[in-house]
Amino acid sequence: MIHVLAIITAKPGMRDQVLEAFRANMPAVHAEDGCIEYGPAIDAEGMGAIQTPVGPDAFVVIEKWESLDALKAHGAAPHMKAYAAKTKEMLASRVIHVLTPAA
């Protein structure tokens, strides 16, 4: 299994617009072969000192894929290219961590 944590930071005030485009693309991603989990998450409220917030302009995409090949196919999918083009001008940064379970 492959895990992905993608930290998406929108330009100031644009997170809701990016999330709208992200959510519109989710059904196509969920239909991909090998997709186990794919969804956005934002900072939980009231967590205090135990939390390192991602901030008001960012969200984290939590993904699980059956294999590296499934993840590679996801990255090359036409709907992902369309999503990237649609959101490109709204993003400040994108950091992607691809992980495998620790033995």
The string of pLDDT tens digits covering residues 60-87 is 999 999 999 999 999 999 999 999 999 9
**Helix/strand/coil percent split, the chain, to 5:** 40, 30, 30
Q: Tens of pLDDT along 11-27?
A: 999 999 999 999 999 99
Average pLDDT for 31-39: 98
CATH (domain of 72): 3.30.70.100
Give per-residue pLDDT as tens, 48-58. 999 999 999 99
pLDDT exceeds 90 at position 103:
no
Rounded Cα gap, residues 47 and 63, in angstroms: 23
Specify the number of domains making up the chain.
Answer: 1
Structural domain span for residue 19: 2-99
What lies within 8 Å, CB to CB, of 55 at 6+ separation is: 9, 43
